[in-house]
């Protein structure tokens, strides 16, 4: 799988899939999301970058309804986020999430980690869930680790299992919150390669990352956040070579 240097035509973008309108969120006195308007279209890969504390994780958690918001609306595939119950479980299946820490079930095998959700939520039989899980584990390059426990795998392998586990729910959109920042440097690319592959296969993705190589290879759009606001957005090419705001220039000078 070599996607190096591939460019992405924008004609692959479909209908709006994730829509945020005037979304606000406070933690006490702290205004963490300020009037966020954002639309992500089907097949789009959006990279979110910005300084620590700018609200990137809160944004992801709000989209996945792990956090409530104070006002504004968030819609997934046209449907407003449900508050609770069965509808919320369905939403969680539609919106996959991969965290910085791999969050695998420590006492379950890799295979069980991937089959658990599909058996419970999608009501697949054990055999069907396992067949599909093995295909997904193969796709992320860890099929031969299926019988092991997470602790027996490297960080990069665990994160790839976490991606397979999310994919097993057949999400409409995948959220990645700094998926490689807890990894040793030599394992970063094996995870990014899987994500680039997903992007090229047409998955809609919102990716919080400071990995510029990934953004350049896979992103349709870069959103720069600071102080809970979307300060600037552009194509990766435009953003990295010609940032407009002082906040973005300052931020890029520190990480590039
Ligand atoms: P980022 O992911 O960009 O680093 P976060 O979304 O994690 O930013 O956090 C934005 C701000 O909200 C930070 O100041 C953080 O300390 C604060 N924050 C995040 N989660 C909570 C919480 N559960 N309670 C209180 N403050 C929080
Ligand atoms: Mg964060």
Question: What would the pLDDT profile of 68-79 be if each residue is shown by its tens digit?
Answer: 999 999 999 999
What DSSP designation does 104 have? -
Domains of the chain: which residue ranges?
Answer: 15-254
Provide the percentage of residues in the chain whose pLDDT is more than 70. 96
Cα 148 to middle of ligand 1, angstroms: 34
pLDDT at residue number 193? 97
Ligand 2 centre to CA of 64 (Å) is 14
The phi-psi region of residue 16 (left if phi > 0; otherwise alpha if psi is between -120 and 50; otherwise beta) is beta
- Pocket perturbation via mutation, ligand 1, pick of 52, 53, 99, 176 by most ligand atoms within 8 A of CB: 53
Residue 20 and residue 37 in contact, taking contact as beta carbons nearer than 8 Å: yes
Ligand 1 pocket mutation, candidates 23, 24, 26, 27, criterion most atoms within 8 A of CB: 27
Q: Per DSSP, which regions of 171-239 are E strands?
A: 173-177, 204-208, 221-226, 229-234
| Distance from C-alpha of 92 to C-alpha of 123, rounded to nearest angstrom | 15
Exposure string of 193-218, with b = 16+ CB inside 10 Å and e = fewer, is bbbbbbbbeebbbbbbbbbbebbbbb
Q: Which CATH number fits domain 15-254: 3.40.50.300, 3.30.70.890, 3.60.9.10, 1.10.150.120?
A: 3.40.50.300
Pocket around ligand 1: residues whose beta carbon is below 6 Å from it? 27, 30, 32, 50, 52-58
**Nearest in space to 158 (alpha carbons), one of 121, 183, 129:** 183
Residue of the CA atom closest to atom 14 of ligand 1: 53
- Structure confidence by residue, pLDDT tens digits, 130-168: 999 999 999 999 999 999 999 999 999 999 999 999 999
Q: Model confidence at 9, in pLDDT bands (50, 70, 90)?
A: low
Ligand with an atom nearest the CA of residue 177: 2
């Amino acid at each position: 799988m070599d996607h190096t240097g591939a460019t992405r035509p924008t004609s692959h973008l479909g209908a709006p899939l994730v829509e945020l309108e005037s979304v606000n969120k406070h933690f006490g006195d702290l205004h963490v999301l300020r009037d966020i308007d954002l639309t992500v279209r089907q097949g789009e890969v959006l990279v979110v970058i910005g300084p620590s504390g700018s609200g990137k994780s809160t944004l992801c958690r709000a989209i996945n309804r792990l956090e409530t918001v104070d006002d504004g609306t968030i819609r997934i595939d046209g449907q407003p986020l449900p508050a609770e119950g069965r509808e919320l479980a369905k939403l969680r299946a539609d919106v996959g999430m991969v965290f910085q820490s791999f969050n695998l079930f420590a006492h379950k095998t890799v295979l069980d980690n991937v089959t658990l959700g599909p058996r419970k939520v999608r009501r697949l039989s054990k055999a069907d869930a396992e067949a599909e899980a093995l295909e997904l584990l193969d796709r992320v390059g860890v099929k031969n680790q299926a019988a092991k426990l997470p602790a027996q795998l490297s960080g990069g392998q665990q994160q790839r299992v976490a991606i397979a586990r999310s994919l097993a729910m057949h999400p409409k959109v995948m959220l990645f919150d700094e998926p490689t920042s807890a990894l040793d440097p030599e394992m970063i690319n094996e995870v990014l390669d899987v994500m680039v592959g997903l992007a090229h296969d047409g998955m809609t993705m919102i990716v919080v990352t400071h990995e510029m190589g990934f953004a350049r290879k896979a992103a349709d759009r870069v959103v720069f956040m600071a102080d809970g606001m979307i300060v600037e957005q552009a194509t990766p090419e435009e953003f990295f070579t010609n940032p407009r705001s002082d906040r973005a220039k300052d931020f890029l000078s520190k990480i590039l």
